[in-house]
Amino acid sequence: MNGLLPPGNMGVLRGEWRVHACELDDVALVQESLEWLSGIDECVKWVEEKSFHGPLLITGIVKLERKKLARECLKRLGRDTLLELLSDGLQMRVDEDKNLHLRISLSSLVKGEVRLCSKGRSEAFVKGVFKIEAYPGDDHIEVITDLLRSMA
**Digit-coded pLDDT (tens) for 75-103:** 999 999 999 999 988 999 999 999 999 99
Q: Is residue 38 part of a domain?
A: yes
Q: Is residue 113 part of a domain?
A: yes
Q: Which domain does 84 fall in, by range?
A: 12-151
Identify the band that residue 10 occupies on the pLDDT scale cut at 50, 70 and 90.
low
Mean per-residue pLDDT over the chain, rounded: 88
Question: Which residues are paired to 22 by β-bridges?
Answer: 57
Q: Is residue 5 part of a domain?
A: no
CATH no. for residue 60? 3.30.1440.10
Q: What share of the chain is helix, strand, coil (3-state, %, to 5)?
A: 35, 30, 40
In the chain, how many domains are there?
Answer: 1
